[in-house]
Structure 1
Amino acid sequence: MRSSISPKTGLAALVLLACTSTTDAHTWIEEIYRIASNGTFTGLPGYPRGFAARTAGVDPDVPMVYLLPPNGRSPPGILSTDLMCKDSQTIGTYTPGSNMLNAAAGDFIAMTYNENGHVTLPTTTTRPAGNGTVFVYGTKTPANSDTFLGIHKVWNADGTGGDKRGKLLATRYFDDGQCYQATTDNDPDPTNHRPLRDARRALHPESPQIPCQTDVQIPTDAGSSGNYTLYWVWDFAHLDPSTGAVATNETYTTCLDVGLTAAALPKTGDFVAKQLVTSEAIQEQLGKALL
């Protein structure tokens, strides 16, 4: 059984999180998996560009967190010169042992990430429905000079927006309706009362945590050689509580590639709803590309 996010509109849609003068979210894509036809993650995971694992004594925020606009910047915030990818995630930059995923055109893939309390910690800043919207853009012809404002909300699903080098593949809520962490940096005590986390943990007592996921289909016309680049963009704006308008931009990106192969996944039957939730795609996302 899955919990889900009901569609929400207007001010009733707003999710409340903590308000600070600077931002400190630290979420990025951790692993990427191919999804079999039965909904199961299959094969070894792939990783984003420049991946840094969460290991003792290492701060992965430095190479992995890319915030736009950066803390301390004066208005107008995001600039036309801001790049889509962090400087540690340029084309071809992969950490040894943390390679890109290989997949075929038409495959569905799952990009997983930790909620880091941005879903389950009860707080007070007004945020968008679903704790923000994730946009996934794809292109066969990426450039290190790709700018954020040249792509975000410019490339469209038809591939006719902007410079037409890429397109919008999917939009999702950041909160996928099931993810949680037992502890977070801001709440390290697993016994603290967090209603949403506790409700989700009760549904899946076998899982100490459930990563969030963004599921997307690689375009069927992506080809069978070379790489296909994905730009994962999380729009986590602060909203004016009285009007619902954006008060402060807060956006994060992760850049990754998929090595294209001609070997499509063999069919494994229809989607199986009851399986291990930490290695299962979200069926609703497989059936609908855009919110």
Structure 2
Amino acid sequence: MIGPPGYIRGAVSRGEPSFSDFQMQHLLPPNDRPGPPQILASDLMCKSTQSSQNYSQNFPRLEAHPGDHVALQYQENGHVTLLPNTPQKKTSGMIYIYGTERPRHDEKFLDVHKTWNGGSEGLNNRGKLLKTWSFDDGQCYQVNQGKVSLLRQERHPKAFVEPQGSDLWCQIDVRIPLTSRGTLTIYWVWDFSTPPSPDIPNGKAEFYTSCLDIKLAGEPRNYNVSFVKGQDINFAGIETQLVGGF
């Protein structure tokens, strides 16, 4: 990874005494919705604090070129290394990355998710599915005493580096379309829904989203990818995602 990092819309410092995960967490359907959990046609893709392209000097947007690969990083928070603690969950879920150059401040979740496809454009001709991947990237971990964490700490040792600390964050590596210009808005969607079971016959919908923007500058970069082994894992992409991965 090279160049300065960028952030999601409306990012706030985790170092603030008043910080809470709920300040940036967007859960669909919300826990306080009456009746069976379900996504409504009116549900928004972005949290209210992320409905516009709001950034700060400390938390700027990412800058890149068309054709560049970008790493979207996130913490697993035990949803990978401590998954057995939630036996109703069979996997850590899937990540969907959508891109558009024509975002809407009132973008509806269902207008995008499973509607925009990986072809030239989505069904409403505004955006496309850029990538899908498992929430578990195969190497990330939170430092704890779980079997998965201990195994990955051994396989993927790393130095303490801020802001990850001793943990190794998960990532999904996405290539910006060569044809993109101006600003590319990214919708990050995590499907962590619970499948049907005897205890939960109808399953339970559970989605989390984040919204961010990438300022595109300069000429497109159309290059072939070759992975350099032995990099500092704190700043390296993931080979299986970069070489032929969708």
Structure 1 unmatched ranges of 5 or more? 1-40, 183-189
What's the CA shift string for 1:135-191, capped at 9, x where partnerless? 000000000111001100000011443311000000010010000111xxxxxxx5x
Moved beyond 3 Å, runs of 4+: 241-246, 263-270
- Aligned partner of 2:73 among 109, 112, 137: 112
Name the amino acid aligned to 1:165. Answer: R
Partner-residue secondary structure (3-state), 2:173 = strand
2:175 pairs with 1:217: yes
The one-letter amino acid paired with 2:21 is: D
1:231/1:255 contact within 8 Å kept? yes
**What stretches of structure 2 of length at least 5 have no aligned partner?**
160-165
Q: CA 1:43–1:60 in 2, change beyond 3 Å: closer, same or farther? A: farther
CA contact (8 A) 1:181 1:197 kept: yes
Q: What is the identity, as a one-letter code, of the residue corresponding to 2:176? A: I
Q: In the alignment, which of 206, 209, 217 is matched to residue 250 of structure 1? A: 206
Q: Is the 8 A contact 1:113 1:213 kept in 2?
A: yes
Q: Is the 8 A contact 1:50 1:63 kept in 2?
A: no
CA contact (8 A) 1:53 1:60 kept: no
Q: Aligned residue for 1:7?
A: none
Using the alignment, how far apart are the partners of 1:178 and 1:110 within structure 2? Answer: 14
Of residues 111, 120, 142, the one that matches 2:103 is: 142
Counterpart of 1:277 in structure 2 is 233
Of 169, 177, 188, the match for 1:232: 188
SS at match of 1:155: coil
Would you say 1:68 and 2:20 are equivalent positions? no
- Give 1:271 deviation, angstroms: 1.6
Say whether the 8 Å CA contact 1:125–1:238 is kept in structure 2.
Answer: no
1:194 maps onto 2:146 in alignment:
yes
User: Relative to structure 2, which stretch is displaced further, 206-215 or 82-91?
Assistant: 206-215
Q: Deviations over 1:201-221 (max 9, x none)?
A: 112333421110011011111
Percentage of matched positions with identical amino acids: 41
Q: 2:87 aligns with which of 115, 125, 133?
A: 125
Give the C-alpha shift of residue 77 in structure 1.
Answer: 1.5
Kindly provide the CA deviation profile for residues 248-267 of structure 1, in whole angstroms up to 9, marking residues without a partner as x. 00100000000011156798
Residues 105, 222 of structure 1: 8 Å contact kept: yes
Alignment of 1:41-80 (within 5 A): 41-73=1-33, 74-75=35-36, 77-80=38-41
Which letter does structure 2 place at the counterpart of 1:89? Answer: Q
Question: Residue 75 of structure 2 aligns to which amino acid in structure 1?
Answer: N
Greater Cα shift, 57-66 or 277-286? 57-66
Structure 2 counterpart of 1:52, one-letter code: V
Partners of 2:90 and 2:216 in 1: CA distance:
35
Asked whether the equivalents of residues 185 and 211 of structure 2 are also in contact (C-alpha less than 8 Å), the reply is: yes
Deviation at residue 125 of structure 1 after TM alignment? 2.8
> What letter is aligned with 2:87?
T
C-alpha contact 2:101 2:183 (8 A) present in aligned 1: yes
Is 2:53–2:212's contact at 8 Å kept on the other side of the alignment?
no
Q: Is 1:87 aligned to residue 48 of structure 2?
A: yes
Distance in 1 between residues matched to 2:169 and 2:187, nearest whole Å: 19
Kept in 1: contact 2:195–2:204 (CA 8 A): yes
Give me the TM-score of the superposition, normalised by structure 2. 0.89
Q: 1:203: which partner in 2?
A: 155
Partner Cα distance (1:240, 1:281) in 2: 35
Specify the alignment match of 2:127 in structure 1: 166
Calculate the TM-score normalised by the size of structure 1. 0.76
| Cα displacement (A) at 1:245 | 8.0
Sort the Cα spacing of 1:273 and 1:248 in 2 relative to 1 into closer, same or farther, 3 A.
same
Instruction: Give the structure with the larger strand fraction.
Output: 1
